[in-house]
């Protein structure tokens, strides 16, 4: 799979929470945001499906992902690298 860098793409890092599918990983992304009314810092999460061409990442790894064209019904992300193996 070729990765082009024409436009600026969204980059995130997250933790692999599922590696049960072939060439697909479920990644949980964490970020912090301030609550609009109470001004407390709230941790938020989102799960996304990412493409892993060579099946190199495993559950528990921290990976860097980049937004890409739709690869399937749910996959819009591709894994760039495994930042921290478990």
Element (H, E) at 78: strand 75-84
Question: Residue ranges of the domains in the chain?
Answer: 11-84
Over residues 30-78, the pLDDT tens digits come to: 999 999 999 999 999 999 999 999 999 999 999 999 999 999 999 999 9
> 3-state class of 3 per DSSP?
coil
- Report the distance separating Cα 51 and Cα 23, nearest Å: 6
pTM of this prediction? 0.83
DSSP notation for 19-52? EEETTEEEEEEEEEEE-TTT--EEEEEEEEEEE-
Residue 7: pLDDT band (50, 70, 90) is confident
**CATH T-level fold of 11-84:** OB fold (Dihydrolipoamide Acetyltransferase, E2P) (2.40.50)
């Amino acid at each position: 799979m070729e990765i082009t860098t024409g436009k600026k793409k969204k980059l995130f890092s997250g933790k692999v929470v599922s590696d049960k599918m072939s060439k697909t990983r479920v990644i949980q992304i964490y970020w912090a945001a301030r609550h609009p009314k109470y001004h407390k810092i709230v941790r938020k999460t989102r799960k996304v499906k990412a493409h892993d061409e060579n099946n190199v990442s495993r559950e528990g790894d921290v990976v860097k992902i980049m937004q890409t064209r739709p690869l399937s019904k749910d996959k819009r992300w591709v894994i760039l690298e495994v930042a921290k193996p478990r």
